[in-house]
């Protein structure tokens, strides 16, 4: 049996109304009544609140014997401390702000002063040029030592005067490569542009391979957690990212990239915040604003590069193409504003990016049912935005907040977050979008666990309805031997370590408890009809059928294609490739009038890519057991087929074929 698995999380293609993942293939209460003041942070699964206990746990964790999984906060956070002297003026402004608001304290018996004058004064002071009193910083209007060009107030910045350094032609091919040793992100701001098609494919392949290594490490880490005898569980996403960082596999660490990241497409979906750090899309694992701090800049001015919009803060307003983004600082652990913000750190970086006309990347945190992270969120890259306005205002909690208006740049692919919303609508109401183009709600005629939609908004071609839907492969009768000579495990409540089926797979189970394939193998043995384990056994994955909502759709590029309304994790099962099995002689006769058969021996060995840790371990050996005999048979799909027949060819495939056997145990007769 040929089974399709997803080796990676897939980005939706531009212009398609639903995600195109064709995937067959996770507080200490202070005694003082005063709230804890922290920078504006994104919810991080509570890890930082329990860092001490996690650190103790990981110090005893035997996982990954090289010890590189012992996670230290210093490994994850870049240095963002600023020289206090650079912000003396802003501290003065902050004191002025507090003075303006102190008269309005409800506990103050004095008559409150009007707030308008205080706000106006703060706006004037906060957004005045911090270098205006230091003309020695400027030479002919250009900040010395950088490419930052000062523009007069009220005028538009010169589009050619971005605060970046262009990437030389000879350096572009290496700007996305991972460094060999861990290092801090450097000071130089660059923009990678004018990439040709070969370069784009190269960078895309680099990102895909990096993400596959990250996902493989994360999945393997979950197996180590499952083997624990106690209830302690580690953060597999953090541990995987720490290993990759220690091996120098984080991307884009040599340069701070402004604008698009080569190899990352609009609509790419990330299951964890740490994935954003690994590919260099957002360099901070916790803060919502990522920026080059002033202490690392040659002129002392910070520049924002990306923001995460998650809808978790009371003063944020997200309207899709237009976002009102509130600054950081002054929030408690419940994301409530409890004091006034200051124009420093990420807030100042956003103001400077607006001043110089530098775009920022926007990543949206989207709540998703079944998300793997503890926050229940996914992260979707939605493209580039420009900061067109910034101001200082009173927030909903009555404290001063810096606000920034972001507008999406035209001409980009459709936002991935919008595609996910449409997919959610279709799951609730399959006819909510283009009902006339929905040819069938279920071409399987209810033989699959979930319906398989047929969608065509290009022409009147309805060919998939002409075939009989085949949910399971049709084998010749001689394959099966029900004489009682078959062998299987004796497990009662699911397979356990060391059982017969585990030994057939080389001593380990091919899946984790969630049914995710750990690594590709030549052949996977699942529990079959001769096993005593129940249907919910961890070693029965592909035989349970499709569990994700798939759709066959008409495509201009490939004719027919398959996409999913559900997000399918890397290593997740998609569907079985079904057909009528033919012997060699039968295939030769049938192909005399034209060869339209499917030959399993022609499938590429992409299964070897899933779980490949050669970039981590130089001694990694590609799995060669269990071995598989020659696949000397064919599949006839001319009259009966399933959804797998419409999976299209791609130059950048996101699906792999994994051979799985569970129907019987006779390899010789099953592969004539």
Q: What are the angstrom distances between the C-alpha of 353 and each of 84, 161, 165?
A: 21, 12, 15
Residue 273 CA to residue 70 CA, distance in Å, equals 18
The answer to whether residue 542 scores a pLDDT higher than 60 is: yes
Domain containing 377 — which CATH number? Answer: 2.30.280.10
**Are residues 344 and 209 both part of a single domain?**
yes
The answer to whether residue 154 scores a pLDDT higher than 70 is: no
Specify the higher pLDDT residue, 115 or 260: 260
Chain centroid, CA 79 distance in Å = 25
- Identify any residues that bridge with 389 across adjacent strands, giving them in sequence order: 405
Does residue 313 form part of some domain?
yes
Say if CB 483 and CB 666 are below 8 A apart.
no
Greatest mean pLDDT among 41-55, 188-202, 462-476: 462-476
**Are residues 385 and 461 both part of a single domain?**
no
Residue 3 CA to residue 23 CA, distance in Å, equals 11
CB atoms within 10 A of CB 155: 7
The answer to whether residue 8 scores a pLDDT higher than 70 is: no
Query: Which H or E run includes 250?
Result: none
**Are residues 515 and 564 both part of a single domain?**
yes
Q: Domain end: 396, 427, 458, which one?
A: 427
Q: Is 12 helix (H, G, I), strand (E, B) or coil?
A: coil
The answer to whether residue 109 scores a pLDDT higher than 70 is: no
Residue 299 CA to residue 293 CA, distance in Å, equals 11
Does residue 182 form part of some domain?
no
Is residue 406 very low, low, confident or very high in pLDDT (cuts 50, 70, 90)?
A: very high
Does residue 37 form part of some domain?
no
- Identify any residues that bridge with 572 across adjacent strands, giving them in sequence order: 6
Say if CB 5 and CB 517 are below 8 A apart.
yes
Residue 551 CA to residue 459 CA, distance in Å, equals 17
**Are residues 535 and 414 both part of a single domain?**
no
Is residue 435 very low, low, confident or very high in pLDDT (cuts 50, 70, 90)?
A: very high
Q: How far apart are the first and last CA of the chain?
A: 14
Domain containing 496 — which CATH number? Answer: 2.170.270.10
Say if CB 144 and CB 159 are below 8 A apart.
no
Q: Read off the pLDDT of each residue in 389-409 and give the average, rounded to a whole number.
A: 92
Q: What are the DSSP calls for 420-466, one per residue?
A: HHHHHHHHH-TTSS-GGGEEES-TTTT-SSS--EEE-SSSS--GGGG
**Are residues 482 and 365 both part of a single domain?**
no
Say if CB 68 and CB 613 are below 8 A apart.
no
Is residue 648 very low, low, confident or very high in pLDDT (cuts 50, 70, 90)?
A: confident
> Percent of the chain, pLDDT > 70?
69
In the DSSP assignment, the letter for residue 413 is P
Range of the structural domain that residue 303 is part of: 189-427
Please count the structural domains in the chain.
2
Does residue 83 form part of some domain?
no
| pLDDT one-digit tens code per residue, 562-611 | 999 999 989 999 999 999 999 888 888 888 777 779 999 999 899 999 99
Structure tokens at 478: 């001689």
Q: What is the mean pLDDT of the chain?
A: 76
Does residue 453 form part of some domain?
yes
Q: Is the backbone peptide bond immediately before 499 cis, with ω within 30 degrees of 0?
A: no
Residue 608 CA to residue 645 CA, distance in Å, equals 22
**Are residues 414 and 482 both part of a single domain?**
no
Q: Are strands 634-636 and 377-394 parallel, antiparallel or unpaired?
A: unpaired
The answer to whether residue 306 scores a pLDDT higher than 70 is: yes
Residue 128: predicted pLDDT? 44
Chain centroid, CA 19 distance in Å = 13
**Are residues 443 and 533 both part of a single domain?**
yes
Q: What are the angstrom distances between the C-alpha of 320 and each of 17, 317, 327, 405?
A: 16, 9, 18, 12
Residue 610 CA to residue 475 CA, distance in Å, equals 28
The answer to whether residue 652 scores a pLDDT higher than 90 is: no
Residue 146: predicted pLDDT? 33
Residue 354: predicted pLDDT? 94
Say if CB 484 and CB 625 are below 8 A apart.
no
Q: Read off the pLDDT of each residue in 317-322 and give the average, rounded to a whole number.
A: 92
Say if CB 100 and CB 118 are below 8 A apart.
yes
**Are residues 468 and 343 both part of a single domain?**
no
Q: What are the angstrom distances between the C-alpha of 110 and each of 98, 535, 542?
A: 15, 73, 73
The answer to whether residue 19 scores a pLDDT higher than 60 is: no
The answer to whether residue 11 scores a pLDDT higher than 60 is: no
Q: Read off the pLDDT of each residue in 31-54 and give the average, rounded to a whole number.
A: 38
Residue 8 CA to residue 653 CA, distance in Å, equals 10
Residue 650: predicted pLDDT? 81
Residue 232: predicted pLDDT? 66
Does residue 156 form part of some domain?
no
**Are residues 261 and 408 both part of a single domain?**
yes
Say if CB 121 and CB 100 are below 8 A apart.
yes
Q: Are strands 453-455 and 468-469 parallel, antiparallel or unpaired?
A: unpaired
Residue 230: predicted pLDDT? 67
| pLDDT one-digit tens code per residue, 219-242 | 999 888 887 766 666 788 999 999
Q: Domain end: 381, 398, 427, which one?
A: 427
| pLDDT one-digit tens code per residue, 327-344 | 888 888 777 888 898 898
Residue 207 CA to residue 579 CA, distance in Å, equals 35
Does residue 232 form part of some domain?
yes
CB atoms within 10 A of CB 75: 15
Residue 501: predicted pLDDT? 93
The answer to whether residue 458 scores a pLDDT higher than 90 is: yes
**Are residues 340 and 357 both part of a single domain?**
yes
Residue 443 CA to residue 644 CA, distance in Å, equals 13
Among residues 325, 297, 321, 293, the alpha carbon closest in space to that of 312 is found at: 325
The answer to whether residue 87 scores a pLDDT higher than 80 is: no
Q: Read off the pLDDT of each residue in 147-168 and give the average, rounded to a whole number.
A: 41
Q: Read off the pLDDT of each residue in 295-303 and give the average, rounded to a whole number.
A: 79
> Percent of the chain, pLDDT > 90?
44
Residue 285 CA to residue 308 CA, distance in Å, equals 11
| pLDDT one-digit tens code per residue, 127-139 | 444 333 333 332 3
Residue 376: predicted pLDDT? 80
Q: Domain end: 406, 427, 448, which one?
A: 427
Q: Is 276 helix (H, G, I), strand (E, B) or coil?
A: helix
| pLDDT one-digit tens code per residue, 443-453 | 999 999 999 99
Does residue 76 form part of some domain?
no
Among residues 293, 242, 262, 261, the alpha carbon closest in space to that of 363 is found at: 261
Radius of gyration of the chain (CA): 28
The answer to whether residue 495 scores a pLDDT higher than 90 is: yes
**Are residues 632 and 515 both part of a single domain?**
yes
**Are residues 586 and 617 both part of a single domain?**
yes
């Amino acid at each position: 049996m040929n089974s399709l698995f997803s080796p990676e999380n897939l980005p939706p293609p531009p212009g398609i109304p639903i995600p195109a993942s064709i995937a067959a293939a996770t507080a200490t209460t202070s005694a003082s009544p005063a709230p804890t003041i922290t920078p504006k942070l994104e919810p991080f699964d509570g890890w930082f609140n329990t860092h001490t206990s996690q650190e103790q746990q990981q110090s005893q964790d035997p996982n990954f014997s090289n010890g590189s999984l012992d996670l230290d906060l210093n490994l994850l956070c870049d240095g963002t401390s600023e020289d206090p002297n650079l912000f003396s003026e802003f501290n003065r402004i902050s004191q002025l702000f507090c003075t303006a608001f102190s008269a309005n304290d409800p506990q103050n018996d004095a008559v409150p002063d009007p707030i308008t004058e205080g706000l106006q004064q703060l706006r004037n002071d906060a957004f005045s040029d911090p270098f205006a009193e230091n003309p020695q910083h400027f030479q002919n209007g250009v900040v010395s030592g950088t490419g930052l060009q000062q523009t007069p107030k009220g005028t538009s910045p010169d589009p050619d005067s971005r605060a970046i350094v262009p990437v030389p032609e000879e350096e572009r091919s290496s700007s996305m490569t991972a460094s060999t040793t861990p290092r801090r992100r450097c000071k130089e701001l660059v923009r990678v542009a004018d990439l040709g098609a070969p370069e784009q494919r190269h960078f895309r392949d680099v990102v895909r391979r990096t993400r596959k290594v990250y996902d493989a490490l994360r999945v393997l880490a979950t197996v180590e957690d499952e083997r624990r005898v106690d209830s302690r569980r580690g953060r597999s996403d953090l541990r995987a990212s720490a290993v990759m960082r220690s091996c120098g596999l984080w991307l884009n660490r040599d340069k701070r990239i402004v604008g698009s990241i080569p190899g990352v497409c609009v609509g790419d979906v990330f299951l964890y915040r740490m994935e954003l750090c690994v590919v260099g899309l957002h360099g901070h694992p916790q803060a919502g604003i990522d920026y080059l701090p002033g202490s690392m800049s040659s002129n002392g001015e910070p520049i924002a590069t990306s923001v995460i919009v998650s809808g978790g803060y009371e003063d944020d307003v997200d309207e899709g193409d237009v976002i009102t983004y509130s600054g950081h600082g002054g929030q408690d652990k419940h994301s409530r504003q409890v004091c006034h913000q200051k124009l420093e750190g990420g807030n100042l970086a956003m103001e400077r990016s607006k001043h110089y006309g530098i775009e920022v990347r926007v990543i949206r945190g989207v709540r998703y049912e079944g998300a793997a992270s503890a926050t229940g969120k996914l992260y979707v890259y939605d493209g580039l935005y420009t900061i067109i306005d910034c101001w200082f205002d009173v927030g909903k909690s009555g404290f001063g907040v810096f606000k920034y208006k972001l507008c999406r740049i035209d001409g980009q692919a459709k936002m991935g977050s919008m595609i996910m919303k449409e997919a959610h609508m279709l799951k609730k109401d399959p006819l909510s979008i283009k009902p006339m183009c929905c040819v069938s709600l279920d071409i399987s005629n209810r033989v699959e666990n979930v319906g398989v939609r047929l969608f065509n908004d290009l022409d009147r071609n309805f060919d998939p309805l002409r075939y009989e839907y085949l949910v399971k492969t049709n084998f010749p009768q001689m394959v099966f031997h029900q004489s009682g000579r078959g062998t299987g495990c004796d497990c009662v409540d699911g397979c356990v370590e060391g059982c017969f089926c585990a030994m057939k797979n080389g001593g380990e189970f091919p899946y984790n408890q969630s049914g995710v394939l750990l690594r590709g193998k030549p052949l996977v043995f699942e529990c079959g009809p001769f096993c005593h384990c129940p249907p919910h056994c961890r070693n029965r994955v592909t035989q349970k059928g499709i569990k994700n909502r798939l759709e066959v759709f008409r495509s201009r590029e490939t004719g027919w294609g398959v996409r999913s309304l559900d997000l399918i994790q890397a290593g997740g099962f998609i569907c079985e490739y079904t057909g009528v099995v033919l012997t060699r002689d039968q295939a030769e006769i049938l192909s005399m009038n034209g060869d339209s058969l499917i030959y399993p021996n022609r499938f590429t060995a992409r299964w070897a890519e899933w779980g490949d840790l050669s970039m981590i371990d130089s001694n990694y050996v590609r799995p060669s057991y269990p071995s598989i005999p020659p696949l000397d048979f064919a599949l006839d799909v001319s009259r009966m087929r399933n959804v797998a027949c419409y999976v299209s060819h791609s130059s950048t495939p996101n699906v792999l074929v994994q051979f799985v056997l569970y129907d019987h145990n006779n390899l010789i007769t099953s592969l004539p």
